[in-house]
Structure 1
Amino acid sequence: MNETTQENYERRLSKYAQLLHGTDQDGLVCKLQMYQSFLGKHSELGDRLWKIEPLLILLIKSLEQDLHLTLAKFFEEDGYSIGKFIRFCLTNRRQISWAEGKPLDESVLRKQADALVEHEHVIKAIRGRRDKFFAHRDKRYLDNGDQIYSDYPLSAQDVERVTNTLISIVGAHERGLSGGRFSFHLAEFIEIGVDNMVRNLEAGRKLNFPNQALD
């Protein structure tokens, strides 16, 4: 049986909610919160964090790479392409209904498209880092990997803002379709978990290496 436009829309929306809020290996919000929480711990403790557990610096770099690879998929045409989803909604809005038979709000869709344009420089940096460094190491960065951060500047706040835009877009469609409900994510629990993890690592370091100075 062929899928109707409404079914296509609902299937795509469900997939976006899963990709954003899921707790499996694809959940973007959990990855972002874990990365930010570790950055917050480094801001709080400085290089003392590496004394508590030297491997954490490698873990943070791995989280950064995974976060950028996951985020980039939302902005490429052969990936999840949130822009492509919005264009699909605009083209087919008369065949798609929200709760109680209400049509898609065209003004909402236009604002969502404009919001992505506002993040264009951030999206370019995310894709540049992915294409030139994380996924395939360009020869320009073979001897000086840190150059990628100058060529494609991107702050943790930039990544947070563009992720929040994704959450806002998907959430608006979820609320429209369900009549008010939207997905709940576990960001606060992730932050608590990272805090507990670092405290447990510090306790273990003091127990196993009592003569090591952590300050």
Structure 2
Amino acid sequence: MTETTQENYERRVRKYASLLHGTDQDGLICKLQIYQSFLQKQRDIGDRLWKIEPLLFYLIKSLEQDVHLTLAKFFDDNGYGIGKFLRFCIASRRQITWASGQPPGEKLLEEQTKALDEHKECTKSIVGRRNKFFAHRDKEYLDQSDQVFSDYPLSEDDVVSLANTLISIVGKHEVGLRGGSFSFHGAEFFHIAVDNMVRNLEAGRKLNFPDQKLG
């Protein structure tokens, strides 16, 4: 049985919400919150964080890569790309109904498209790193792996901003469909957990290595 435009739209929104709010290994919001919390912790106490636990540097870099790879999935037009979704919404707007009985606002869809377009350089770098380096190592990066980071530059703040724009876009569609409700996620709990983790590591470091100066 052929899917209606409304069914297609609702299925896509549910998929996006699941990918954002999930607490499994695919949930972007929880990963992002953990990543942001570690970034803030490092900015607050500087290199002292690596003295508390040197492995945190490598763990955070691994988490950063995971955030990049998760974000990259949202910008594949041959998959569930968010740009493709917005184009679908604009083209089919009058065949889509929110809980209010009205379609998504034309102005809203234009604003969301513009907001996404403002991150096009960041998106290009995230997808480029994924395609050229993380998923399939291109030959030009076999001997000079660091070159990919120059060819596809990214800043931590730009990545977080892009992720938050994506979350905001999906959130407005989810709220529109549900009439004001939205998915619950445990982002705040992850922030607290990171803070507790660092404090426990610091306490353990002082106990096990009393002569070490943490700064």
What's the TM-score, normalizing by structure 1? 0.91
Q: Distance in 1 between matches of 2:165 and 2:46?
A: 30
Q: Does 1:188 align with 2:188?
A: yes
**Could you tell me how far apart the structure 2 residues matched to 1:208 and 1:39 are?**
26
1:104 aligned counterpart, secondary structure: coil
Q: C-alpha separation between the residues in 1 aligned to 2:40 and 2:176?
A: 35
How far apart are 1:214 and its partner, in Å?
A: 2.3
Looking at structure 2, the residues matched to 55 and 169 of structure 1 have their Cα atoms a distance apart, in angstroms, of: 35
The alpha carbon displacement at 1:140 in A equals: 3.1
Output the CA distance in 2 between the equivalents of 1:79 and 1:51.
42
Deviations 1:27-59 (A, max 9, x none): 111111211211222222222222211211110
Whichever residue aligns with residue 18 of structure 1, its letter is S
In the TM superposition, residue 210 of structure 1 has moved relative to its aligned partner by 2.5
Amino acid across the alignment from 1:8: N
Matches within 5 A, 1:131-146: 131-146=131-146
Once the 2 structures are TM-superposed, how far is the Cα of residue 68 of structure 1 from its aligned partner?
0.5
- Residue by residue over 1:44-100, the C-alpha shift from the partner in whole angstroms, topping out at 9 and shown as x without a partner, is 222222221121111011101111100011011123200111112122222211114
Structure 1, unmatched stretches of 5+, are none
1:54-203 to 2 correspondence within 5 Å?
54-203=54-203
- Would the alpha carbon gap of residues 94 and 204 (structure 1) be closer, same or farther in structure 2, given more than 3 Å must change? same
What per-residue deviation string (whole Å, max 9, x for no partner) do you get for residues 97-142 of structure 1? 1114212322221222222211111111111121222222233333
TM-score, normalised to structure 2, is 0.91
What is the DSSP-based 3-state SS (H/G/I as helix, E as strand, rest coil) of the residue aligned with 1:198?
Answer: helix
Indicate the residue corresponding to 1:48 in structure 2. 48
Amino acid at match of 1:16: Y
Letter in 2 for 1:111: E
> What percentage of aligned pairs have identical amino acids?
71
Which consecutive segments of 4 or more residues in structure 1 shift more than 4 A?
A: none
How far is 1:166 from its partner?
Answer: 0.9
- CA apart distance, 1:182: 2.3
